[in-house]
């Protein structure tokens, strides 16, 4: 990393990965990170630890804005959240993140994964989250609700559907395609 314009950016998804990154970058140059609370964190964190971990994360992002590059990975992942209850919890937590950070001068890195056909919530088959673009449409509604500028958003985990591959950039968003695609 001594020569050229090489700069490494990594992302945290919870407090454990945030601590790992902070320890790793102590003696490094040309490395930055995004500070995230991933949808998997929302879905899989034990209830007994969640509130404490959430408080620790929100305190860090508020008090250390000069230390990280962006908010993310944050988002919706309907592969991991297979029930309506878990999907609604992801939506609720994502809205809390946007409410907390909307006035920060930070871009966002989104993790968005729609439910595949075999991942539909069978108890709520007609629910909008089960559509092939359920998470995508929901995040677009949330972004609109919080009036977040599309130019401040990178869809890091973009899972489609295909037509959004042209729609989103035309609206000002940046896309990256994950290895899971």
Give residue-wise pLDDT tens across range 34-89. Answer: 999 999 999 999 999 999 999 999 999 999 999 999 999 999 999 999 999 999 99
Q: What is the mean pLDDT of residues 1-23?
A: 85
Asked if the structure places residue 1 within a domain, the reply is no
Please compute the mean of the pLDDT values over residues 106-132 and round it to a whole number.
Answer: 92
User: Of residues 159 and 134, which shows the higher confidence score?
Assistant: 134
Is 3 a residue whose pLDDT tops 70?
A: no
Percentage of residues in the chain having pLDDT higher than 90:
80
The secondary structure of residue 69, as a DSSP letter, is: S
Say yes or no to pLDDT of 1 above 60. Answer: no
Rounded-to-integer distance, Cα 72 and Cα 113, Å: 14
Locate 88 and state its tokens.
């609604």
Cis peptide before 73 (omega within 30 of 0): yes
| Domain ranges, residue 19 | 8-175
Residue 161 has pLDDT above 90, yes or no: no
For the chain, percent of residues with pLDDT exceeding 70: 94
Residue at 55 is within a domain = yes
Q: Which two tokens stand for residue 51?
A: 């509130």
Q: Does residue 123 lie in a domain region?
A: yes
Confidence of residue 5 (pLDDT cuts 50, 70, 90): low
Under 8 Å between Cβ of 106 and 65: yes
- Cβ atoms of 65 and 30 closer than 8 Å: no
CATH of the domain at 19: 3.20.20.140
Helix ranges (DSSP H) in the chain = 15-25, 39-44, 47-63, 84-101, 134-145, 164-170
Position 180 in a domain = no
Note whether residue 36 is domain-resident.
yes
Whether the CA torsion 22, 28, 29, 30 is positive or negative: it is negative
The neighbouring-strand residues paired with 155 are: 110, 175
φ and ψ of 84, to 5 deg? -55, -40
Counting the structural domains of the chain, the total is 1
Domain assignment present for residue 3? The answer is no
DSSP tag of 5: T
Instruction: Report yes or no on 149 lying in a domain.
Output: yes
Confidence of residue 27 (pLDDT cuts 50, 70, 90): confident
Number of Cβ within 10 Å of residue 167's Cβ equals 13
Q: Which whole-number Å values give the CA distances from 36 to 48, 74, 151, in the listed order? A: 20, 6, 19
- Predicted TM-score (pTM) of the model is 0.92
Q: 124: pLDDT confidence band, cut at 50, 70 and 90?
A: very high
């Amino acid at each position: 990393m001594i020569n050229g314009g090489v700069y490494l950016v990594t992302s945290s998804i919870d407090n454990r990965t945030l601590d790992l990154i902070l320890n790793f970058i102590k003696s490094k140059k040309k490395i930055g990170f995004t500070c995230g609370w991933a949808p998997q964190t929302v879905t899989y964190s034990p209830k007994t630890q969640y509130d404490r971990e959430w408080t620790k994360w929100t305190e860090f992002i508020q008090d250390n804005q000069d230390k990280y590059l962006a908010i993310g990975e944050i988002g919706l992942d309907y592969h991991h959240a297979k029930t309506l209850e878990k999907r609604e919890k992801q939506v609720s937590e994502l809205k809390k993140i946007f409410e907390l950070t909307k006035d920060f001068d930070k871009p966002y890195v989104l993790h968005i994964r729609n439910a595949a056909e075999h991942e539909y919530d069978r108890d709520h088959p007609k629910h909008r989250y089960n559509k092939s673009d359920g998470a995508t449409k929901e995040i677009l509604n949330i972004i609109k609700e919080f009036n977040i500028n599309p130019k401040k958003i990178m869809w890091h985990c973009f899972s489609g559907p295909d037509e959004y591959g042209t729609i989103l950039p035309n609206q000002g968003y940046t896309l990256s395609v994950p290895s899971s695609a």
